[in-house]
Amino acid sequence: MELNIALWAAVYAACFLPQRQLRENRRPWLANVLLFIAGLLTAGFPFLFVVSWALIQPLSGGDGGGLIMMMFAVPMWLLVGLGFAFGVFKSLQKPAPEPVQDPLWLASSAPSNNSTILPRFQRLIRTLCEGWGFCGCIADDGSPRRVNDYLPNSGEVSALQFADWLLLAEWPGDHSDPAFEDFRASWREKIAAEFRRVLGADSVDASTLHPPT
């Protein structure tokens, strides 16, 4: 009995300490492997040995001392099993995502919760901002430029019109600059094509391009 307890304590301690260190280094999978090995060594083989002894001793005329050892082995087996399950549970837990600040393309009056924006237009804007880099800009005079600042509240908005407004919001300098015309010519058709692909039409009602009030 004493040998069984000493073996359990030694192996579990040897695996618990590196497990703690590995968790601090963001490697919980390896820590759980070590704890699993500890479970096999301390709860698996000794436990089976004790169970076998407990079953054989009464048949061989023993005093049943194996049953007493079994009473010590069962709690240890459960303890290691619970420790392993807890380690797996902690490793599967993920921290809550950090809140994402609204990019410049949102109008100043837009709600901070992005889920209030209609899905298709939100998908288009996120593609253009996160994938293409068109997120609006800070103008040379220090004021922010957003595509929503150019969108009308009513009427039809075509793909090319939207592309023009997006590019206006992206250019920090004077829009009469010849360099802006080159920039506009390079991107106008590509943005319009993405507008048609995501929204499924060449033009949409302007009300669908604004957060609901």
Weakest mean pLDDT among 17-21, 152-156, 163-167, 203-207: 17-21
Please give the Cα distance from 20 to 27 (Å, whole number). 10
Per the structure block, which two tokens stand in for 60?
């061989």
CA torsion angle 103 104 106 108 (round to 10): 120
- Tell me the DSSP string of 38-88: HHIIIIIHHHHHHHHHHHHHHHTT--SHHHHHHHHHHHHHHHHHHHHHHHH
118 and 198: one domain?
A: yes
Within a domain: 97? no
Task: Give the confidence band of 165 by pLDDT, cuts at 50, 70, 90.
Answer: very high
What is the pLDDT averaged over residues 149-167?
93
**Which of 2, 3, 38, 45 shows the shortest CA–CA distance to 17?**
38
> Are residues 188 and 148 part of one domain?
yes
Domain count, the chain: 2
What are the two backbone dihedrals, phi and then psi, of residue 204, each rounded to the nearest 5 degrees? Answer: -140, 165
Contact 76/8 with Cβ under 8 angstroms? yes
Which position has the higher pLDDT, 78 or 112?
78
Dist. CA 172–CA 205, nearest whole Å: 28
Task: Name the helix (H) or strand (E) containing 166.
Answer: helix 159-170
Answer yes or no: do 190 and 146 share one domain.
Answer: yes
Q: Nearest-5° angle of CA 78, CA 79, CA 82?
A: 85
Q: End of a domain among 57, 92, 127?
A: 92
Region 110-123: mean pLDDT is: 56
Same domain assignment for residues 11 and 66: yes
Using DSSP's 3-state secondary structure scheme, residue 125 falls into helix
Q: Does residue 151 carry a pLDDT above 50?
A: yes
Phi then psi for residue 27, to 5 deg, are -130, 60
pTM, two decimals, is 0.46
pLDDT at 35: 56
pLDDT band of residue 116 (cuts 50, 70, 90) is very low
SS3 138: strand
pLDDT band at 40 (very low <50, low <70, confident <90, very high): low
Q: Are 49 and 73 in contact (CB under 8 A)?
A: no
Asked if 152 and 118 sit in the same domain, the reply is yes
Mean pLDDT of 42-57: 51
Q: How far is CA 88 from the centre of its chain?
A: 18
- Check if the beta carbon of residue 136 is closer than 8 Å to that of residue 148: no
Tokens 């999978």 locate to: 29
- The residue segments making up the domain with residue 7 are 2-92
pLDDT of amino acid 4: 52
Would 11 be classed as within a structural domain? yes
Q: Given a cut of 70, is residue 28 above it in pLDDT? A: no
Are 88 and 125 contained in the same domain? no
